[in-house]
Chain A
Amino acid sequence: EPEVTQTPSHQVTQMGQEVILRCVPISNHLYFYWYRQILGQKVEFLVSFYNNEISEKSEIFDDQFSVERPDGSNFTLKIRSTKLEDSAMYFCASSDGGLYQETQYFGPGTRLLVL
């Protein structure tokens, strides 16, 4: 069964450093998403992406964040200058296109720790 994959599974970085989190969505999916979950808190939407541009972004997704689909398979989240409060589990998700195709399939997550 097709699945969303994410790398790395864990990342430790120093405050102020740039990190890139990578995701490979399900191959025929058209919509891509990033969510995050700070330890003990809700899963929060960050951004959605379709047709090579951002469809929607939350207040969390400020100028420090960017997303890119550099080729036909990868979808990346970049944090330019990490802060302590960026420590969280980051989930990538993808969904098929079209009406009534709103089910999102999630990857296993990348746990980011900012020191």
Chain B
Amino acid sequence: GNSVTQMEGPVTLSEEAFLTINCTYTATGYPSLFWYVQYPGEGLQLLLKATKADDKGSNKGFEATYRKETTSFHLEKGSVQVSDSAVYFCALSDLKAAGNKLTFGGGTRVLVKP
């Protein structure tokens, strides 16, 4: 079956530091990949996505590149802010159409200190 593995947190950083959160996946098909973010007290928000190999998703200074050869989709941001403190979830959907379930990783809590 499908699975997503991401690095365990918490990750504690200083403001303006570089952030990387590793995510690897196992899928039977050719999945679409997502990063969702959960800010304190809020629901899951889509951060970015990629649907095919070598695609780069980007949003709010975050980037992730779909690497088929390493089955990875690592999230990066060059200079984090305190407002980036949240839990980040990597997820996949193995069907490029609506209606299919998402498989999530365990989430990585990121804390950015001023």
| A93 to B95 CA separation, bound complex (whole angstroms) | 17
| Cβ-based interface call for A95 (8 A) | yes
Asked if B103 and A100 sit within 8 Å, CB to CB, the answer is no
- Fill in one digit per residue for B78-113: 1 if any A CB lies within 8 Å of its CB, else 0: 000000000001010101111111111111000000
| A112 to B45 CA separation, bound complex (whole angstroms) | 20
Contacts of A109 in B (CB 8 A): 43
| Cβ-based interface call for B22 (8 A) | no
| A4 to B42 CA separation, bound complex (whole angstroms) | 12
| Cβ-based interface call for A31 (8 A) | yes
| From B36, B42, B96, contact of A102 by CB (8 A) | B96
| Cβ-based interface call for B49 (8 A) | yes
Interface residues of A in 47-68 (CB under 8 A from B): 48, 50, 55-56, 58
| A54 to B42 CA separation, bound complex (whole angstroms) | 27
| From B95, B96, B98, B107, contact of A42 by CB (8 A) | B107
Contact residues on B (Cβ < 8 Å of other chain), bracket: 20 to 34
| Cβ-based interface call for B17 (8 A) | no
Given contact pairs A42-B104, A43-B89, A102-B93, A95 touches B42 in the complex (Cβ within 8 A)? no
**Most B C-beta atoms less than 10 A away, residue of A30, A33, A102:** A102
- Fill in one digit per residue for A71-115: 1 if any B CB lies within 8 Å of its CB, else 0: 000000000000000000001010111111111111111000000
Contacts of B104 in A (CB 8 A): 42-44
Interface residues of A in 9-35 (CB under 8 A from B): 30-31, 33, 35
Interface residues of B in 6-56 (CB under 8 A from A): 32, 34, 36, 42-46, 49, 51
Chain B contact residues, CB within 8 Å of chain A: 32, 34, 36, 42-46, 49, 51, 89, 91, 93, 95-107
User: 23 interchain pairs (CB within 8 A)?
Assistant: A4-B43, A6-B43, A42-B106, A43-B44, A43-B91, A43-B102, A43-B104, A43-B107, A50-B98, A50-B99, A56-B99, A93-B44, A99-B97, A100-B96, A100-B97, A101-B97, A102-B99, A104-B46, A104-B93, A106-B43, A106-B44, A106-B45, A108-B43
Chain A contact residues, CB within 8 Å of chain B: 4, 6, 30-31, 33, 35, 41-45, 48, 50, 55-56, 58, 91, 93, 95-109
